[in-house]
């Protein structure tokens, strides 16, 4: 197919093809782009093979290009979920810095608790981690309530000091 034939086809069919695509897409810019792409593909195909019905080839190519465009748009779509939902998910997800900070503080806390004398560590564990009251800890360990309070006071002072000094 010669350049003259392509030019004649363009002059004869471009406006109608663009109207067809505009009705289907409702996007003038997309319709214009797809018309250009359709003629480009017609030209490339005509160099390799003979095309018996060029207008039919153009319309079929334009229709297929529009279908491909819509499929790509659907794959790229991010508005399937509302922005509020996306923001809520983003808010729930901790940043890497927050996660690292929390993990470091937890390791520091674990080291500080591990430094406590065994009895004080046990009392701290029962009260602060297992959630037992002072009286329940005292009964379980067969010690006085004031002894539990003294151990806890020492444990908390030690842990707080270690957390404040951070390496």
What are the pLDDT digits (tens) for 140-163?
999 999 999 999 999 989 988 888
Q: Any idea of the CA torsion for 62, 64, 65, 70, to the nearest 10 degrees?
A: 130
* Residue ranges per structural domain of the chain: 3-79, 99-164
pLDDT at 137 over 80: yes
pLDDT of res. 165: 77
Burial class from Cβ neighbours inside 10 Å (0-12, 13-18, 19+) for residue 50 reads exposed
pLDDT at 89 over 80: no
Closest CA to 2 of 38, 42, 34: 42
The dihedral built from the CA positions of residue 148, 154, 156 and 158, taken in this order, carries a sign that is: negative
pLDDT over 70 for what percent of the chain? 85
pLDDT of res. 115: 93
pLDDT of res. 127: 92
The whole-chain average pLDDT of the chain stands at 84
pLDDT of res. 79: 55
pLDDT at 3 over 60: no
Q: Fold for domain 3-79?
A: Rna Polymerase Sigma Factor; Chain: A (1.10.1740)
Q: 167: which residues sit within 8 A by CB, 6+ positions away?
A: 108
pLDDT of res. 118: 95
Whole-structure pTM value:
0.46
pLDDT tens digit sequence for 31-79 = 999 999 998 988 888 888 888 888 888 899 999 999 999 888 887 765 5
- Please give the CATH number for the structural domain made up of 99-164: 1.10.10.10
pLDDT of res. 86: 55
pLDDT at 81 over 60: no
Measure the CA angle with vertex 159, ends 118 and 126; round to 5°. 50
């Amino acid at each position: 197919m010669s350049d003259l034939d392509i030019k004649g086809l363009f002059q004869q069919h471009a406006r109608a093809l663009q109207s067809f695509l505009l009705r289907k897409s409702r996007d003038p810019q997309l319709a214009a782009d797809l018309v250009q792409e359709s003629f480009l593909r017609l030209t490339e195909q005509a160099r390799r093979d003979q095309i018996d019905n060029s207008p039919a080839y153009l319309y079929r190519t334009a229709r297929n290009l529009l279908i491909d465009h819509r499929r790509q748009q659907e794959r790229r779509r991010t508005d399937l979920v509302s922005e509020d939902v996306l923001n809520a998910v983003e808010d729930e997800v901790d940043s890497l810095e927050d996660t690292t900070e929390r993990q470091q503080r937890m390791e520091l806390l674990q080291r500080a608790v591990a430094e406590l004398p065994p009895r004080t560590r046990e009392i701290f564990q029962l009260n602060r981690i297992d959630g037992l009251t002072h009286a329940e800890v005292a009964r379980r360990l067969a010690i006085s309530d004031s002894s539990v309070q003294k151990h806890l006071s020492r444990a908390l002072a030690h842990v707080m000091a270690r957390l404040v000094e951070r390496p």
